[in-house]
Amino acid sequence: MKPEKYRFSKSKELTEVVLVSFSKPLPRTIRRSFISILRFFVFISFTGCIGNGNHSWGFKGIFGPMNLFQTSNAPLFLNYSSSPYVLTKDIPVATIQPTTSGSIDQCSSSPALPTGLSLDSETCEISGTPTVNQPATSYTITASNASETKNSSILITVNMNPPAALNFATSPFTFTVNSALTTIHPTYTGTITSCTSNVALPTGLFLGGSDCSLYGTPSLIQVASNYTITASNPFGNTSTTISIAVNAAPPAALNYAGTPFVLTQNATIGTVTPNYTGTVTACNSDIALPAGLSLDSVCQITGTPNTIQAATDYTITASNAYGNTSSTIRITVNLAPPSALNYAASPFVLTENSTITLTPTVTGTVTSCTSDISLPTGLSINATTCAISGTPNGTQAATNYTITASNAYGSTTNTISIAVNAAAPSGLTYSPTTLVFYKGVNSSIAPTVTGTVTSCSSGSTLPNGLSINTTTCAISGTPTNFQAGTNYTITASNSSGSTNASIGILIYGNPPIKTMQNTCWNTAGTLDAGCTAATSDGQDGKLQKGVNPSFTNQTVNGNEYIVIDNNTGLIWTTCHFNKTNADCSGGTTAYYNLTGAINACLALNAGAGYANRTNWRLPKISEIETLVNFNAATSPRAFTTAFPGTSGGYYYWSSTVYLPDTTKSLVLYFSDGGTTWTDSAPVGALARCVSPGP
């Protein structure tokens, strides 16, 4: 039989002494042990059975109580049949018990077990709570005693604990816009590596990815809404639903930093903006603000006060759906002293007899306006606007005037310069615009002009014998030569300016007498058989020879119509007497006897005269015969473009008496262009008047 193995250990305090005898001899080793220990111990107890290999003895001796144990001498065996082990961090494990046999004196692991787990050194049991995640790791467990050693390999994984029981205890949440949250931490178990919401959180709010904490500053108002929050890690997840509403902050701390406000009547104020916290949706004053001022929905004051008032208190209240705040301000509206008086166009150069108004700009209300010296004669100053107006009626050199605008609160001044010049002449007009003179006949034609003329001149030299008056611009004299129509520019001026008129001048001989000649002579008596020389213009010989008809129609004074015969120089009324308009479509036809026709033409000379001419008369028969157009194929044989409305059915009177019988007068019949006589007394012929001179 193999020797039994024993070990000693301390025992409890001996309470009694027991003497035991054995039924069979003890093993030799035990006997030697007993021999050794009996010197020092008294045997006190025995447990177990000698035959089964597991028993103990108790002793007490001078070294104290001791126990003697016998252990089995079976072969050593170690096995972890449930390996691999998948554990969860922070979750206690059920004790892992290996299958063993034999006596284990020591048990160890290589490498060391995961943090939080321990290995029983006598039983090789594994127990504890893993506290660190780790992937699958192999461990060699070694059991040993004095005789032998056994190993067993196991595999241990420690996984993260999936989150669970997520809870926001204070949901539903009501937050205030623009107010930062104190971070809200939910409760949960396990480890969170990710946190999400099924819909986006209110703008400005966020979730902590590692703990699902709710934080941030909501920036938009919203009604209560539900959010499903999910906490997860690679090994699982958990969810909970919360409700969040974001309200506007009630306004608070309303304050107008500039109060009291002293404003000026009719002066637009800069926007008065208060300070406050929160959101304002409505604003009102306990009493109406001064006229012209307004209060908007965010308590800004704007406008232009238009009425003065003493200092007055106003309680302004800012509010929204969640509350309100108030502040009292004081407003005074004063009349402004005038300022910044300015006549922008100074120095002023005025024109005598021309009405003017010089209006300045000025800030504030003016109740009095004066000049340090009297204004030019004819001008005055308005007491409340400082406008200078009137009609200066004398000239003067540039003179300075200090104008003062004032009210009860102060004054402002501005110095201006005023000069008054004579008016520049204007409206120079010659009527008609084509002037007809006759060689050797003294004539004068005066224009109309507005203003004072100190100089009058022609742009080119006037015909010989004619001159221009330097202050009236009248053209007068006795022409010494014939002249076809020539244009001249006449200028009337003074120191202030000038005015122009364009005229034409024609110079004829005396209206020709019908001589039946077809040749011409110059002034020296030299024959001009072809009548082509300039000196032949207006001679009967040229007319008899045949010239192209040439007429100029003119309108004078707006409703007086004349025709200038450019060949004879005679000036005719466009229409026969009593017809009007440029085309002779107005008026009614008037019939005369000889005396009536003569008087009708003379009547045109009344006042300024028809078309500004005062030498109208009934034409001679030789003069009216120049109006016959023998090239006309039908009646009337007249130049109807120049003389519209000419009748071919009635005689036209002339002033020429039929000498064989002085009771009769010669008349022209445009139906065939012929001349005949008729009794002077009966009414029945027409009258067209002529002006033979300038």
Q: 545 vs 128, which has greater pLDDT?
A: 128
Residue whose token pair is 């208190």: 313
CA dist 531 and 513 (Å) reads 16
Cα Rg of the chain (Å, integer): 69
Phi, psi (degrees; rounded to nearest 5) at 50: -60, -30
Question: What integer pLDDT is reported at residue 64 of this predicted model?
Answer: 53
Q: Does the pLDDT of residue 639 top 70, yes or no?
A: yes
Find all residues with CB under 8 Å of 671, minimum gap 6, and list them: 635, 636, 637, 648, 649
How far is it, in rounded angstroms, from Cα 490 to Cα 502? 6
Q: Find the angle CA(565)-CA(568)-CA(571) to the nearest 5 degrees.
A: 45
Mean pLDDT of 525-551: 73
- With beta carbons less than 8 A apart as the criterion, state whether 553 and 582 touch: yes
pLDDT tier at 511 (50, 70, 90 boundaries)?
Answer: low
Can you say whether the dihedral through the CA atoms of 240, 241, 243, 244 is positive or negative? positive
Q: Going by C-beta distance under 8 Å and a sequence separation of 6 or more, which residues neighbour residue 176?
A: 218, 246, 247, 248, 249
Q: 588 to each of 560, 575, 576, 581, how far by Cα in Å?
A: 16, 11, 10, 11
Tell which residue, 205, 78, 73, has the closest CA to residue 154.
78
Model confidence at 138: pLDDT above 70: yes
Q: Which of 54-63, 140-149, 542-551, 680-689 has the lowest mean pLDDT?
A: 54-63
Does the pLDDT of residue 488 top 90, yes or no? yes
Higher pLDDT, 143 or 66: 143
The HSE-up count of residue 212 (CA atoms within 13 Å, CB side) is 30
Q: Which two tokens stand for residue 64?
A: 């104290």
Secondary structure (H, E, C), 209-274:
CCCCCEEECCCCCEEEEEEEEEEEECCEEEEEEEEEEEECCCCEEEECCCCCEEEECCCCCCCECC
pLDDT 10s digits, 284-331: 999 999 999 999 999 999 999 999 999 999 999 999 988 999 999 999
For 508, the 3-state DSSP assignment is strand
The better pLDDT of the pair 565, 531 is held by 565
- CA 681, CA 676: separation in Å to the nearest integer? 15
Q: Which of 37-41, 431-435, 619-623 has the lowest mean pLDDT?
A: 37-41
Q: Per-residue pLDDT tens for 94-126?
A: 999 999 998 999 999 999 999 999 999 999 999
Could you tell me the two tokens for 558? 């707006």
CA angle 274–277–278, rounded 5-degree value? 120
Q: Is the pLDDT of residue 465 over 70?
A: yes
Q: How do residues 218-228 score in pLDDT, each as one tens digit?
A: 999 999 999 99
For residue 143, the cross-strand partners are: 107, 150
For residues 254 and 245, what is the distance between their CA atoms, to the nearest angstrom? 26
**Residue 585 neighbours by CB under 8 Å, 6+ apart:** 579, 645
DSSP per-residue codes, 128-147: E---S-EEEEEEEEEEE-SS
Sort residue 226 into left (φ over 0), alpha (ψ -120 to 50) or beta. beta
| pLDDT attached to residue 422 | 86
Which pair of structure tokens corresponds to residue 189? 């178990």
> Would the pLDDT of 524 be above 90?
no
**CA-CA distance, 584 to 577, in Å (whole number)?**
10
Distance CA 623, CA 693 (A): 13
Q: pLDDT band at residue 567, thresholds of 50, 70 and 90?
A: confident
Chain-centroid distance of CA 155 in Å reads: 79
Mean residue pLDDT of the chain comes to 86
Region of poorest pLDDT, from 16-25, 248-257, 532-541, 552-561: 16-25
Tally the C-alpha atoms within 13 A of residue 334's C-alpha that lie toward its C-beta: 10
> For residue 298, which phi and psi values (nearest 5 degrees)?
-115, 20
Helices (H) and strands (E) in the chain, counts: 4, 58
Residue 540 has a pLDDT of 67
Tell which residue, 392, 390, 432, has the closest CA to residue 566. Answer: 432
Token pair for 42: 């008294």
Q: Does pLDDT of 431 surpass 60?
A: yes
Residue at 615: amino acid letter: N
Strand pairing category for 222-233 and 690-691:
unpaired
Q: Measured between alpha carbons, how far is 283 from 373 in angstroms, rounded to an integer?
A: 55
Whole-angstrom distance, CA of residue 329 vs CA of residue 451: 65
Q: Which residues of 239-262 are buried (b: 16+ CB within 10 A; e: fewer)?
A: ebebebebbbbbbeebebeebebe
3-state secondary structure (DSSP) of residue 509: coil
Neighbour order of strands in the sheet with 323-334? 261-264, 323-334, 309-320, 282-285
**Exposure class string for 429-465: b at 16+ Cβ within 10 A, else e:** ebbbebbbbbbebebebebebebbbeebebeeebbeb
Beta carbons within 8 Å of 208's beta carbon, 6+ residues apart: 183, 195, 214, 215
